[in-house]
């Protein structure tokens, strides 16, 4: 299959019809005409001349390819249409100045010239459709023009042609604006790289030729060509293309890089770990492109509705032309005029455009923020979510245990013995203890014996003295003071994991360990509630006290603790029955729960597993941008509903004018054009930048603490 960029594609219905025609060609059965991204995917053996002919029938064409596989972008279709509408408007304006100075025949010739300039394409397409008995907007406009001319309404027929031409131009302009916004996003992909050959020389090559283990040189200001690892050099790198984060990240030898990131200042030698087509950036861009074409339930309904809507309008128009003269003795000329106006009012353009521009704009805006929405259907669902369930570890917390508090009974030995026992361990709790011990500058010793006590902790001998470190089960031989008993109970009640350090005679001290809550979690939950989320829920395998401690600190509404992975899935199923539920996890451990929820959201920072598992992927290593993505989704849903209401409301209002006989051709075209322009402009407001009410990320970037 080969992909071609298209120009002049402004009508979704027409695109569907052209795709149907192309599929009838030899080798054309698998053809895909992607309206939102303005691309055509066809088999390499298909007859391109016939494809061009089909596209030309609707004013569209293939964009010729330039060198290096770049598509030249041609705005000639839009520019030509603008010029034709301008010229026809000038000619039409002159008829008012000359009407008292020239004959009626000259005025008619001027009207015909004005109509031909702005409406000839519509007329030709509509005439062909009439022959084929195919009814769409071009057919409606052609019948309206023929009818208006037939009853001698030259001036109004000209207005119809000019306003419809202007409508077509503005409609194409709106869709092109949304597409251009997406194209700007897709341009982050680098085009070439400086490859270091085995003999040490350098050669500039296209990124498509890069293979795993190739070594490339990345100079200051250049883009990292593909995912790789730094093997030499130090620099700060802008990863906003992947993560949406504006702050640069420092990179040194041995650290990973994302393709598409920008090297800010230093010179880096990078070993490619993935060919470009397998890189995180390539996968993200591919998914974003695919997402544009995924139809939402609303879009599918509109398309089905429009299929029957146009023939229904033609039938209503026929009834308006025929019934009043037969039943109420209305003049045939007036009835025909009203019927023609109904035909124009019935144009479904505004209705069809009510959704795609807003959806593409929403997906694009989220992608700019490092939020990958895999399709319009998921964007629509995100805007309807009422509850969000979180896995605790790694999402609301950092996933790294830390010492949060300590009770010291023997200051001389406590930290020294703890550090001596744990210094060679790689266990996460041992690392947490060592991080705390290192802040005390205690002298550490080498144990002569270290022995694990399964289910309890560790036994060690230091300077021929036995010590224990672990849970309460390591101290049954000791008689505890009331203070110590009270400390143990209060720490357990507060949800801490206890690590007790003791000798044969006494407790030296207690570490209270917990998974550290992420800095943004508290402001995140508050922001989600402000964004309209009613329930924020924690699903965790931790014991109840620990879970309640975290939930209480960050403001969650519900907690379900002590859950095994299969129990998380069952809990998600139960919750989904009563509310629209999104599940947030890491995309690996929580895969079953992510798949079970109405919407799966993974926090993956570009990992393959996260991208493949969830419906939405947050490319940052935090949830700070989740509230803004929900606001964007809700805005898109509001815009689509408003657009549908306007599209149908304006038409209904115009149709009601037929009852007293007030509907004129120019009112009809203005109602249609007004609806189309309104839905286009309203849809494009999604792309406008708005400041979030509360955002941890914004505060973090300013270097200040988030407000609670």
Q: Please list the active-site residues.
A: 391
Structure tokens at 58: 């609707």
Measured on CA atoms in the order 314, 315, 317, 321, is the torsion positive or negative?
positive
Instruction: Name the token pair of 655.
Output: 């149709």
CA dihedral 519, 524, 525, 529 (to 10 degrees): 160
- The two tokens of residue 35 are 């309206």
Distances, alpha carbon 626 to alpha carbons 87, 373, 398, 601, in Å: 49, 12, 17, 9
Query: Cα-flanking dihedrals φ and ψ of residue 108, to 5°?
Result: -60, -40
Are 294 and 34 a contacting pair, CB within 8 Å? no
- Report the distance separating Cα 143 and Cα 139, nearest Å: 6
Whole-angstrom distance, CA of residue 347 vs CA of residue 310: 7
Three-state SS for 266? Answer: coil
Report the candidate in 395, 679, 683, 674 with the shortest Cα–Cα distance to residue 524.
395
Radius of gyration of the chain (CA): 34
Give the distance, in angstroms, between the CA of residue 572 and the centroid of all CA atoms in the same chain: 24
Q: Alpha-carbon distance 82 to 76, whole Å? A: 10
Q: Give the Cα separation of 549 and 496 in Å (integer).
A: 9
User: Which residues is 560 bridged to in the sheet?
Assistant: 539
- Assigned token pair, 582: 């999104």
C-alpha span between 672 and 510 (Å, rounded): 75
Q: Which of 190, 215, 211 is nearest to 203 (CA)?
A: 215
Starting at the edge strand found earlier in the chain, the sheet holding 235-238 runs 249-251, 235-238, 262-263
Secondary element (H or E) of residue 467: strand 465-470
Helix axes 521-530, 626-656, angle to 10 degrees: 10
The CA distance from 467 to 459, in Å, is 6
Q: Residue 514 forms beta bridges with which residues? A: 402
Q: Tokens representing 157?
A: 């027929």
Q: What string of H, E and C letters represents the secondary structure of 191-257?
A: CEEEEECCCCCEEEEEHHHCCCCCEEEECCCCECCCCEEEEECCEEEECHHHHCCCCCEEECCCCEE
Query: What's the CA gap between 338 and 143, in Å, rounded?
Result: 13
- Helical axes 356-368 vs 280-293, angle rounded to 10°: 160
Please count the other Cβ atoms lying within 10 Å of the Cβ belonging to residue 452: 11
């Amino acid at each position: 299959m080969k992909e071609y960029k298209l120009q002049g594609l402004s009508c979704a219905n027409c695109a569907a019809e052209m795709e149907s025609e192309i599929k009838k060609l030899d080798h054309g059965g698998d053809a895909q005409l992607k309206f939102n991204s303005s691309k055509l995917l066809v088999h390499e053996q298909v007859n391109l001349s016939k494809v061009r002919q089909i596209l030309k029938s609707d004013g569209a064409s293939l964009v010729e390819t330039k060198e290096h596989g770049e598509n030249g972008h041609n705005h000639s279709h839009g520019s030509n249409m603008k010029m034709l509408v301008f010229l026809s408007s000038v000619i039409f304006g002159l008829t008012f100045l000359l009407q008292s100075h020239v004959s009626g025949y000259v005025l008619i010739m001027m009207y015909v010239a004005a109509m031909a300039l702005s409406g000839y394409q519509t007329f030709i397409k509509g005439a062909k459709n009439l022959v084929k008995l195919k009814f769409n907007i071009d057919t409606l406009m052609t019948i309206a023009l023929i009818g208006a001319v037939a009853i001698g309404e030259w001036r109004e027929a000209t207005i119809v042609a000019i306003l419809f031409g202007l409508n077509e131009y503005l409609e194409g302009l709106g869709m092109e604006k949304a597409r251009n916004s997406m194209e700007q996003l897709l341009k982050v992909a680098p085009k070439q790289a400086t490859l270091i050959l085995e003999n040490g020389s350098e050669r500039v090559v296209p990124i498509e030729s890069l293979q795993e283990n190739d070594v490339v040189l990345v100079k200051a200001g250049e883009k990292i060509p593909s995912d790789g690892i730094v093997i030499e050099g130090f620099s700060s790198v802008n990863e906003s293309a992947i993560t949406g984060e504006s702050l640069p990240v420092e990179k040194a030898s041995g650290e990973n890089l994302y393709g598409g990131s920008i090297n800010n200042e230093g010179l880096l030698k990078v070993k490619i770990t993935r060919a470009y087509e397998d890189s995180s950036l390539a996968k993200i861009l591919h998914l974003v492109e695919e997402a544009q074409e995924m139809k939402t339930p609303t879009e599918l309904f509109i398309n089905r509705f429009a299929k029957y809507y146009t023939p229904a309008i033609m039938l209503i128009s026929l009834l308006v032309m025929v019934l009043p003269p037969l039943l109420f003795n209305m003049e045939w000329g007036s009835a025909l005029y009203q019927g023609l106006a109904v035909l124009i009012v019935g144009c479904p353009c505004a209705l069809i455009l009510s959704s795609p521009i807003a959806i593409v704009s929403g997906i694009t805006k989220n992608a700019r923020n490092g939020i990958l929405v895999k399709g319009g259907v998921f964007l629509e669902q995100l805007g309807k979510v009422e509850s969000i369930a979180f896995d605790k570890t790694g999402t609301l917390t950092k996933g790294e245990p830390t010492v949060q508090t300590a009770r010291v009974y023997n200051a001389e030995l406590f930290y020294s013995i703890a550090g001596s026992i744990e210094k060679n361990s790689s266990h996460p709790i041992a690392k947490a203890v060592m991080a705390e011990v290192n802040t005390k500058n205690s002298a550490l010793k080498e144990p002569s014996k270290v022995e694990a006590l399964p289910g309890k902790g560790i036994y060690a001998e230091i300077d021929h003295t036995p010590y224990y470190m672990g849970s309460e089960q390591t101290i049954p031989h000791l008689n505890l003071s009331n203070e110590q008993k009270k400390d143990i109970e209060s720490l357990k009640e507060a949800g801490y994991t206890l690590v007790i350090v003791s000798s044969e005679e006494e407790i030296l001290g207690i570490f209270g360990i917990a998974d550290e809550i992420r800095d943004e979690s508290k402001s995140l939950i508050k922001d989600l509630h402000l964004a309209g989320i009613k329930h924020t829920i924690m699903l965790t395998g931790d014991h109840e006290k620990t879970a309640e401690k975290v939930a209480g600190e960050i403001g969650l509404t519900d907690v379900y603790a002590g859950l095994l992975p299969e129990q998380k899935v069952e809990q998600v199923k139960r919750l989904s029955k009563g509310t629209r539920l999104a599940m947030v996890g890491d995309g690996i451990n929580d895969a079953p729960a992510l798949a079970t929820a109405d919407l799966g959201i993974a926090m993956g920072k570009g990992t393959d597993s996260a991208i493949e598992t969830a419906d939405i992927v947050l490319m940052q290593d935090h949830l700070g941008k989740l509230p803004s993505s929900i606001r964007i989704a809700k805005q898109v849903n509001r815009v689509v509903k408003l657009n549908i209401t306007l599209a149908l409301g304006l038409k209904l209002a115009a149709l009601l004018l037929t009852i007293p006989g007030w509907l004129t051709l120019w009112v009809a075209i203005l109602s249609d054009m007004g609806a189309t322009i309104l839905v286009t402009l309203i849809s494009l407001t999604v792309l406008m930048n708005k400041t979030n009410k509360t955002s941890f990320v914004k505060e973090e970037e300013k270097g200040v603490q988030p407000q609670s």
